[in-house]
Amino acid sequence: MTPTVKSLLEWGVAQLFPVLANDAATDVRVLLAFALGVDRAMLSVRLQDDVQTQQETWFRAAIAQRVQYQPVSQIIGSREFWGRRFRVTSDVLDPRPDTETLIDKALSLSAPKNILDLGTGSGCILLTLLAERPHAVGDAVDQSLKALEVAKTNAQWLGLDDRSRFYQSNWFSNISGRFDLIVSNPPYITAVEMDQIAPDVRNWEPRAALTPEGDGLDAYRIIAANALKHLSVTGTLLLEIGHMQASSVLNIFHSEGFTQGQCIQDMAGKDRVLAFKGPKPA
């Protein structure tokens, strides 16, 4: 018997609910809509439609992957961020709404001429800013060559490869020059917290992009020790942080000569981004 959209939705929820109760209904709809090549909102008016064998096969395989906690973005190969779609693989972090807090703050600043993105991953931060700031150019670094390939693909998808450059670099090690805006979503989860986070993050996203191990602050120490050499006189440094790390990170940067630091909250009211200016000129 040929399955319908309705019967596959019901089957998918029955498979996912025992392991992902909170997300089951939404994830099933996203995956089935992708299998059918339609917008998710269209599923409700197509409930009685038959589903082709190839589409059914892909959907059932996708549900099997999700039961193993593989993120939906990796299954379908992309994630929307700030209104644009970005390629996502297991080599990069899944772009998250929390990081849009950094974008919002960056876009409230004077338009930069050049941007540096540290630990770029999928490139979603740099490329979003370049798309919103058409006169800017940007450099991005990552230690992972596989992550850089994903970022380069996203630059091509968005038509931004002529204004972006990507380098394999351990933070600032292969970077020269000064920038009007430096941005980063560095690894900041502590080693202890890694054992407590959801399995679709812990088991499927690159560990090195999630945690520097230990207290979770090593990346901030490295950035703080080197950023002033690469920040223009009027430049701004924006960092995503864990929601309980603001005080610790502020202390790290103050110890390296940063005299100004602003904490910005995300949509849930949690500390999410720190904004720094360099020391005022004498």
Looking at the structure, tell me whether residues 19 and 124 fall in a common domain.
Answer: no
CA angle 89, 141, 235 (to 5 degrees): 125
282 in a structural domain: no
Residue ending a domain, among 40, 68, 96, is 68
pLDDT 10s digit of each residue in the chain, 282 long? 899 999 999 999 999 999 999 999 999 999 999 999 999 999 999 999 999 999 999 999 999 999 999 999 999 999 999 999 999 999 999 999 999 999 999 999 999 999 999 999 999 999 999 999 999 999 999 999 999 999 999 999 999 999 999 999 999 999 999 999 999 999 999 999 999 999 999 999 999 999 999 999 999 999 999 999 999 999 999 999 999 999 999 999 999 999 889 999 999 999 999 999 976 665
The reported pLDDT for the residue numbered 282 is: 52
C-alpha 174/C-alpha 185 separation (Å) is 18
- Predicted TM-score (pTM) of the model is 0.95
Looking at the structure, tell me whether residues 48 and 131 fall in a common domain.
Answer: no
233 in a structural domain: yes
Looking at the structure, tell me whether residues 114 and 229 fall in a common domain.
Answer: yes
175 in a structural domain: yes
Looking at the structure, tell me whether residues 30 and 134 fall in a common domain.
Answer: no
257 in a structural domain: yes
Judge contact between 261 and 254, C-beta under 8 A. yes
CATH number of the domain to which 46 belongs:
1.10.8
Question: Quick one: tokens of 247?
Answer: 């005080």
Looking at the structure, tell me whether residues 95 and 54 fall in a common domain.
Answer: no
Residue ending a domain, among 43, 68, 93, is 68
Domain of 11 in residue numbering reads as 5-68
Looking at the structure, tell me whether residues 96 and 200 fall in a common domain.
Answer: yes
Q: Report the 10 Å Cβ neighbour count for 48.
A: 9
Looking at the structure, tell me whether residues 168 and 251 fall in a common domain.
Answer: yes
146 in a structural domain: yes
Phi, psi for 243 (deg, rounded to 5):
-70, -10
Looking at the structure, tell me whether residues 217 and 164 fall in a common domain.
Answer: yes
Looking at the structure, tell me whether residues 177 and 271 fall in a common domain.
Answer: yes
CA angle 101, 102, 108 (to 5 degrees): 95
CATH number of the domain to which 135 belongs:
3.40.50.150
Domain count, the chain: 2
Judge contact between 88 and 96, C-beta under 8 A. no
Q: Report the 10 Å Cβ neighbour count for 269.
A: 8
110 in a structural domain: yes
Looking at the structure, tell me whether residues 116 and 62 fall in a common domain.
Answer: no
Looking at the structure, tell me whether residues 154 and 23 fall in a common domain.
Answer: no
Looking at the structure, tell me whether residues 114 and 49 fall in a common domain.
Answer: no
73 in a structural domain: no
Determine the residue type at 270: K
The reported pLDDT for the residue numbered 280 is: 64
98 in a structural domain: yes
The reported pLDDT for the residue numbered 45 is: 94
